[in-house]
Structure 1
Amino acid sequence: MRRALAVLAAVPLIFFAAACGDSDAGANGGAATSTGGSAGLKVTGNMGAKPTVTFPAGSPATKSSYEVIQQGTGPEVKSGDKLIVNLTVYNWDGKGNAIQGSSYDTKQPETVPVNEQLPQVLQEGFTKVKHGGRLLAVLANDSVPQGQATAGAEPTKVFVLDVVGARPAALKAATGKETGESLKGVKVVSPGGDKAPTLTTKTDEKPSKELVVKTLIQGTGAKVLPTQTLSVHYTGKIWGTDKQFDSSWERGQPADFPLANVIQGWQKGLAGVPVGSRVVMSIPPDLGYGDQAQDNIPAKSTLVFVVDVLAAS
């Protein structure tokens, strides 16, 4: 489903409000069926289960649109929310109209931020439903700005998005009990509250050739799963030099990313860590960037990170 989300992010932010209509699908929680108001599509199936889309005969729609299939009864969706959604995607090519995937099959709902990075049609559509609602969206090639269209245009995409809820607000910093653990050769000072920890990696100690993870503050949240998207604050330095190469604290904003998309040291080091924890990690080159230099990270560097796990979904 990451590919499906990439499609969402790749569509430029142009909104065509074609066929935005109300649905008379009936009571929430039962079967949800569209009125066919969005480009002649029909959506059937119960909320909480994979929907089925029936396509009209002929060529696919050339204008993007959305339709509220079922509004939902929970809180309203607002711009800036990070929604947890079940997502089902079709290619509308006028031939097979093949399904591309569904999070109902993978049993892994996706987190979708409702922000300016989404296509405008979805920014608009999401704010017309509530938690527990279902949205139908058609994303056609009319959203491609002039000058960027190519001969091999993508098929029109059809999304059915069931809003499960919103991701809980992330913590501002690690919270919990200090464990007294430490990493030899590395110093971390935790000032308390929402303040950033101080990391010092100037040392004559030789770094371990293995991944080393020490929990400094033990959080009380659920344990991180390898498939989840995390929100973290972190500082990264080079072992032995105290050279800092990155810090979300200095940018003033936590980093959000799928754990599966980052270096192996992070994937192995953060899986199983409870939300709310602060950990310090020593990552050997083979689990970092290896023989390849990265910006201001020399090749074959041992990386040290202090990481606050603020949220996972």
Structure 2
Amino acid sequence: MRRALAVLAAVPLMFFAAACGSDAGTGAAPASGSGAAAFKVTGDVGAKPTVTFPAGTPATTSSYQVVQPGAGEDVKSGDRVIVNLTVWNWDGKGNAVQGSSYDTKAPETIPVDEQLPKVLQEGFTKVKHGGRLLAVLANDVEADPQAQAAAEPTKVFVFDVVGTQPPVLKVASGKETKESIKGVKVVNPGGEKAPTLTTKTDLKPSKELVVKTIIEGTGAKVKANQTLTVHYTGKIWGTDKQFDSSWERGQPAEFPLGQVIQGWQKGLVGVPVGSRVVMSIPPDLGYGAQEQQGIPANSTLVFVVDVLGAY
């Protein structure tokens, strides 16, 4: 459920790992073909760009070009930058576009950290909010020198910087409501400790989705098209059997809300960021008659969830 780097599905994530040693900048001279400075980008920032490719063979060295510097806030190392992006395969033939967030109408969030190729770590810090960056990502450095897999085509990205995501919360914070679901018990230990969820009960679960707010946050309300950062624990109604917990993994989960079970999609829309909720999800909004790992068929699922961020 966690994304190390949110990019279009057409672009394999392993490509980024293979490119992580590149630190060429705007003026770097590639070993083959032309670099980022040789590209022409037309169109206004905020709309899908048009790119004219240089003649010759694709570059084998990564580089970047600041197309528009922007006039907003600086992008800093450690930021989670929100971008609209468009990506092409640079093969020297068709140079086909692979996808664009302007088509999907879903900007992506990219952490500017050490997991990002160095060329992008540097390039993003050279633009401000409202700026446009072009990056050529080639197979400069292999993630595994012993790997025999075929090299990925050189990729060309145009990033329009929309802004930066506010830091996510570490724990739900706000007013405790004293709400609960009959048959389910949640104990709030305080601080950053995980709540205790108990679902051992002889009561029959509701056939409808039940959502109760335990701690009411003060952030913006979750929207259906957003990506969420959450901590959660999931158990099966009646048995107290736990099948998943991000708290136990020590790492919050991050995922597009539209890509998880219906109970989460319906239950979390409208919940303010910073809230802790408990949800009882009937089988038809969970996994139904299909058995999952650790979850019997036709199970009612119970989750306690801290909504830590939404963008």
TM-score range, shorter chain: 0.7 to 0.9
SS at match of 1:226: coil
Aligned to 1:15: 21
Q: List, as ranges, runs of 4+ consecutive aligned residues in structure 1 with deviation greater than 6 Å.
A: none
> C-alpha offsets along residues 140-172 of structure 1, whole Å, 9 cap, x if unaligned?
344544444545x54322111122221011122
Decide which moves more: 302-311 or 55-64: 55-64
* Shift of residue 232, structure 1, vs aligned partner: 0.9
Shift of 1:44: 2.6
Summarize the Cα distance change of 1:40–1:104 in structure 2 as closer, same or farther, 3 Å threshold: same
2:214 maps to what in 1?
216
Residue in 2 that maps onto 1:53: 51
Q: Alignment partner for residue 242 of structure 1, among 240, 249, 252?
A: 240
Coordinate RMSD, CA, aligned = 2.8
Equivalences for 1:191-270 in 2 at 5 Å?
191-270=189-268
Distance 2:258 2:146 in 1: 34
Rounded to whole Å, the distance in 2 between the matches of 1:90 and 1:16 is 19
Overall identity of the aligned pairs, in %? 74
Deviation at 1:258, TM superposition (A): 1.4
Give the corresponding residue for 1:29.
none
Q: Residue 20 and residue 149 in structure 1: after superposition, are their counterparts in 2 closer, same or farther (change >3 A)?
A: farther
3-state DSSP of counterpart to 1:174: coil
Match of 2:31 in 1: none
1:304 is displaced (CA, Å) by 0.7
Structure 2 distance, partners of 1:88, 1:8, is: 14
Q: Tell me by how many angstroms 1:271 deviates.
A: 2.1
| C-alpha separation in 1, matches of 2:66 and 2:132 | 6
Task: Write the distance in 1 (CA, Å) between the matches of 2:257 and 2:64.
Answer: 31
Of 262, 266, 287, which residue of structure 1 is paired with 2:285?
287
With normalisation by structure 1, the TM-score equals: 0.82
**What does 1:126-141 correspond to in 2, within 5 Å?**
126-141=124-139
Change (3 A) 1:75 1:5: farther
| Cα drift, residue 203 of structure 1 | 0.5
Length-normalised TM-score, structure 2: 0.83
Q: Is the 8 A contact 1:9 1:117 kept in 2?
A: no
The 1:147/1:256 distance shift into structure 2, 3 A limit, reads: same
Stretch moving more, 242-251 or 196-205:
242-251
Going from structure 1 to structure 2, the CA distance change for 1:295 and 1:45 (only over 3 Å counts) comes to same
Amino acid at match of 1:174: A
Q: Is the 8 A contact 2:281 2:302 kept in 1?
A: yes
Count how many residue pairs are aligned between Structure 1 and Structure 2: 298
Does 2:8 align with 1:4? yes
Secondary structure at the aligned position of 1:7 is classed as coil
Q: CA deviation at 1:217?
A: 2.6
Q: 1:16 to 1:104 in 2, by over 3 A?
A: same
Amino acid aligned to 2:13: A
- DSSP 3-state at the match of 1:311: strand
Task: Tell me how far 1:41 sits from its aligned partner.
Answer: 1.2
